Structures are given as structure tokens and as C-alpha cells.
Structure 1
């Protein structure tokens, strides 16, 4: 299954709220990861690292980042929204698990989240 850098609970939650089928969501996450994984050094240089663990890195990116990324990857609006929700929910989950939930929620008021898996 795609999205090994995304917790299964996060995929289930996002699939329940997404307007794409739950069987499609892991494939979409994997398409995005394929693109983002190649750009990890760029993200490290350009964006604030929100968290880093052995499996993944989370970044705070500018508002509308997902709109541009979705266009680059040829994702429809529903697909983009679903994948963005996955990344945001993964960041929130890490925040809850590391006692940084308030910090992450404040940042998400003005920025978006991107989570990139490590190879």
C-alpha cells in the first residue's frame, strides 16, 4: 500500500472525509510522495521543518502550496483536497503525539502542511 510515511489511522480518517474513494486515496498519496521525495532537499532549503523522525519530515509551506502542487501533478480539485487533508491530518497527529498540537494548529492558521517520507 502506498503512503508508508502516512499513518493508517490518518488515511482512514481522511478517506472518511474525502470526496474521493477510500481505495483511491493511498494511490494518490503515493503519486504525491513520488514527486515530493525527489524534492526533499529543496523542501529542506526552502521551508520550515515542523518535525523530523526516522520515517518522514513535516514542513510548513505557504498558503496555496497545495493548489500549485496539484496543478503540477495534474490532480483534480477533489484529489488535491483529499491529499492535502492527509498531509494536514498527519501533521496534526504528530503534534498530538509530541505535545505540540497548539503550536501546529497556530501555524496551520496561516500555512499548509506537507509530509514527505524518507526513502
Structure 2
């Protein structure tokens, strides 16, 4: 993982500990999602609310079902999809803690899904 990965290493470790997939598989899945989504950056910007942007990442809130659709397109099993969705949600919450917006983001995650891409 590079230093400019939009999903921080600690988030990947936390996700791997909670995931029902092998811990070594989580970074691979997150990287696959990144390769799939970053070329769609303009589409994400048009369709979804961007709630954060910095030098490393942009974070969007997509409708529930976003990761089901992406996972289906990628041929992922349910557990793999859930691990990627969890990594993206955990990254949003980590940013929220730093910005004093954790409560806002927790509420948003009740009805939407986080999508993190590199800038």
C-alpha cells in the first residue's frame, strides 16, 4: 500500500480484523475497488454527494445497494463485498472523527454507503 492510498493502513487492519474474509484479502479487494471506481470519478461527482475532499481522497455518499452493484460487477462473494463496504465506511468515520463530524457521518451511514476514491 502506498502512503497516498485513500483507505488508510489502520483502517485496512481494522477491517481485516472484523471481516469474514482472510485478512490478506482485504487490501487486495480494496485495491480492486479503487481500480474500478477511480476511472468513474466524474460519474461519482455528478451522481453522489461529496462529503469530504483532501489531498489524498474524496468521499461520497451513495445510495444503499451501491456496493452490492459494484460487488456483482466484480464477481465478489457477499463477504468480500461487505469487507470493502466496511473499509470505505470506516475510512469515512475516521475522517469524521478528525473533522468533528463523526455523528453526522454515522447518521448518514444509516441510509447511505461511503465511497472513497483517491484524488
Residue 73 (structure 1) shift: 1.1
SS in 2 for 1:60: strand
SS in 1 for 2:17: helix
RMSD of aligned residue pairs (Cα, Å): 1.2
When the two structures are aligned, how many residues end up with a matched partner? Answer: 118
- 2 CA distance for matches of 1:34 and 1:27? 11
Normalising by structure 2, we get a TM-score of: 0.95
- 2 CA distance for matches of 1:5 and 1:109? 22
Deviation track 1:5-64 (CA, whole Å, cap 9, x = no partner) reads: 111110111000001111111111110000101001100010000100111100000011
Residue 79 (structure 1) shift: 0.5
Normalising by structure 1, we get a TM-score of: 0.95
Query: How do residues 36-115 of structure 1 correspond to structure 2 at under 5 angstroms?
Result: 36-115=37-116
SS in 2 for 1:39: helix
- 2 CA distance for matches of 1:5 and 1:104? 17
- 1 CA distance for matches of 2:25 and 2:113? 22
- 1 CA distance for matches of 2:22 and 2:5? 19
The list of structure 1 runs, each at least 4 consecutive aligned residues, that deviate by more than 6 angstroms after superposition, is: none
